[in-house]
Chain A
Amino acid sequence: MFQGIVQVLFDGIAFGMLLFVMSVGLSITLGMMKFANLAHGVFAMLGGYVCTVLMHRAGWPFLATLPAAFIIVAVASVFLERFVYRRMYAAKELDQVLLTVGIIYMAIAAAAYVWGPEPQAFALPDYLTMYRHIGSFSFSTYGALLLVLGTIITLAIFYGLERTRFGAMIRAAVDDRRVALGVGININRVFTITFAIGSGLAGLGGALGINTLGLDPSFPIEYLVFFLIVVSIGGGGTVKGALAAALLLGLSDTAGKYYVPQTGAFIIYAVMLVVMLWRPNGLFGRT
C-alpha cells in the first residue's frame, strides 16, 4: 500500500513536471498579453517531430535532440508571433480562440502530410528504459530524467525571473503592461523573446514526452485540454501557479489511473470544473 503511494507520487510528480515544462510558456503568454493561444500544443508537437527526425534520419542520440528541439521550435515561433499573433492582441477572445484553432487545423494537416497520420515509432535509448531499485521501491530512469530535468528547468525559470533584469521586465509586463510600457520597457521585444522561450520549452517537453504521450498529428488537439487545464487551474501569468496546477494534474491523473482505472480522464475534468467554479481566476491568479 505504502509502496503504491510512493509509486504514484513518483510517477505523478514526474508526469506533472513534464506537463509543467510544456505548459509554463502558455501561462506566461496568457498573463502577459492576455492572448489565448490554444495552438500552444502545435509547438510541443513540432518539438516531438524534431526529435524523431533527428533521431531516425540523422542518428542523433535522444538527449542531444532535446536542446535542438528547444532552439528550432523557439525560432519557428518567432515567425508565427511576429506575422500572425501580433495583429490579434487587441481582438476579442473568441476571435483569438478561433484563430488559434485554425492554426491548429493547418498544423495538423501539414504534419499528416509530411510525416503521415500514424503515430511515430519511437524508442527511448536503453539506459532510459531501465528500472532501478532502492529498498523495495522501483523507479524508472526515464521518470528520474523527467524529475531531474523538470527540477532544473523549474529552478532556472525561477532564478531567471527573480534574479535577472530580463526576468524583472517579464514580471513587470505581466503585472501591468501599460505601466511597463510607460517606464520604457520594449513590450514587443520582451514578449517575442518570452514567447520564444515558452514555445521552445513546449517543444522540449514535446520531445521529452513522446515516450509517455506518443506523437501523431492529432497531438495538439488531444492535449489541448491538458494545457488549458494547467493554465486555468494555475491562473494565467504565474509560474508558481502553472507548477502547482501541473503537479496537481499529474498526480490526479496518475492516481486515477492507478486506483480507479475505469474512470479514465473523467477525474481531471472534474478537478478542473471544481477548481474553476471555486476559484475562477485559478489557484494563484488575481482578479
Chain B
Amino acid sequence: MTADSRTATTASANAAAVADFRAQARWRWYEPLFWLGAIAWYFLFPTYLSLGTQILCAALFALSLDLILGYGGIVSLGHTTFFGIGAYTAGLLAKHGWGEPITCLLAGGVTAAIAGWICSFVIVRVQGVALLLVTLGINLVLYETANKAYTITGGADGLQGIAFWKLLGVFDYDIFGRVAYIYTLIVTFLLFLVARRIVHSPFGLALKGMRENWKRMPALGAALRRHGALIFVLSAALAGLSGALLAESVQFVALDSLGVQRSVDVLTMLIVGGTGVLYGSFVGATVYMVVRDQLADLNPAYWYFWIGLILVVIVLFTRNGLVGAASDLADWVKRQRGGGTAS
C-alpha cells in the first residue's frame, strides 16, 4: 500500500463511481442480435416455429434457474418443480372451462411463485450436496404424486383435451404455430426485461453477494431467509410462466413437465451457455435444443453421446460455458492488441 494512495474526492470521481454501475446495466452491442435473430427465425424457418417456441420457453426456464444459480449461487437440481406447476396450472384451468391464455399464464406464474416461497425455507437449513438432494427430492415427490394422481393430471399420458381460447379474443392458435411463436416471443422478451432489471437492482447485488460469500452476508446485516424467499419467488414465478407458456403453445401438458430429466437438461443448457451472464441461458438453450432436434431424430443413443461429450469438454476446458469462453477470448484479443483499458 503506497503511502498516499488517497485520490481527491472530487465530483468527477464520484460521478465515475455512479457511471460504473450504469455502464454495467447498459445494453451491449450483441444483445439486440439475439432478439433480431428470434424475429428473423419467424420469417426464415416457418416450418420450425414449434421448435422456436420450445427454444424460447426453454431459454426463459433456464434464465429463471440462472437467477438462483448463476447470480445467487444456490444449486438446485429440482427447478422443474416450478416449471411443471406452472404448466399444470394453466392446463388444468383450460381443461376445466377457463381457457383465456393470458390469465392462465399469470395463474401459472402465481401458483409457481407460491410453491417457490414454500420451498425457500429449505435453503437456510441446508447447503451444498444436501441442498442438491433436497431439491431433487422435492421434484421427485411431486413427479410421483402427479404420476399417481392420474384422475387429475392424466398420469403418464399427460393432460389432454385442453384448448385455449383465442389470444386477446382475436388470434386463434393455428396449426403452424405462428400465433404461439409470436405470443411466446413477446412474453419471453418482456420477462427477459424484468430479469435484466432484477440483475441490475440492489437485490441483484445482494444476490451476487450470496453467491460470492454466503457466510458473510448475515454478518453484514442481510436476512438470508428473506433474501432466499424473494429469489425463490421471483425465479419460481418465471419458471412457472415458462411452463404455462409451453402448455399454451402445444395445448398439452406432458408428465415430464415435472420430470427430473428436464431439471438436468436445463442445468446442462446453463453450463453449456454460461451461468451468471444473462445470455448464457439463451445461448445454451438454443444450442441444446437445435443439436437435440438435429441429432435425436437419427438415433436417440447418438444424441446422448454428443451432448455428454459437449458437457464434458465444456466443463473441463472452459471457465464459464460458451459465453464465458467468448468473453475470455475477447479479453485475450484485447490484450494481444496492446492492452486497452486494463481492469
Q: Do A and B interact with each other, yes or no?
A: yes
Q: Chain A: residues with CB nearer than 8 A to chain B?
A: 30, 36, 84, 87-88, 91, 93-95, 97-99, 101-110, 112-113, 117, 217, 221, 225, 228-229, 232, 236, 262-266, 269-270, 272-273, 276-277, 280-282
Do A104 and B308 have beta carbons less than 8 Å apart? yes
Do B315 and A217 have beta carbons less than 8 Å apart? no
- Measured CB to CB, the closest approach of chain A to B296, in angstroms, equals 12
Main secondary structure of the interface of A (DSSP, over half): helix
Do A98 and B301 have beta carbons less than 8 Å apart? no
Do B141 and A99 have beta carbons less than 8 Å apart? no
Give every chain A residue within 8 A of B8 (Cβ-Cβ): none
Do B148 and A228 have beta carbons less than 8 Å apart? no
Residue tally, chain B, CB below 8 Å to A: 43
Query: What 7 pairs between A and B have smallest CB-CB spacing?
Result: A105-B308, A102-B311, A109-B305, A106-B308, A112-B301, A102-B312, A109-B304
* Cβ contacts B288-306/A at 8 Å (1 or 0 each): 0000000000001111110
Q: Does B134 contact A (CB under 8 A)?
A: yes
Do B129 and A36 have beta carbons less than 8 Å apart? yes
- Measured CB to CB, the closest approach of chain B to A200, in angstroms, equals 23
Give every chain A residue within 8 A of B303 (Cβ-Cβ): 109
- A262 and B302 CA atoms in complex are apart in Å by 36
Q: Chain B: residues with CB nearer than 8 A to chain A?
A: 69, 75, 77, 122, 125-130, 132-134, 136-138, 140-141, 144-145, 147-148, 260-261, 264, 267-268, 271, 275, 300-305, 307-312, 315-316
- A276 and B136 CA atoms in complex are apart in Å by 11
- A105 and B265 CA atoms in complex are apart in Å by 11
Do A97 and B132 have beta carbons less than 8 Å apart? yes
- Of the residues B77, B130, B145, B261, contact of A281 by C-beta under 8 Å: B130
* Given A108-B304, A117-B301, A273-B134, A280-B316 contact (CB < 8 Å): no
Give every chain B residue within 8 A of A272 (Cβ-Cβ): 133, 137
- Measured CB to CB, the closest approach of chain B to A93, in angstroms, equals 7
Give every chain A residue within 8 A of B264 (Cβ-Cβ): 101
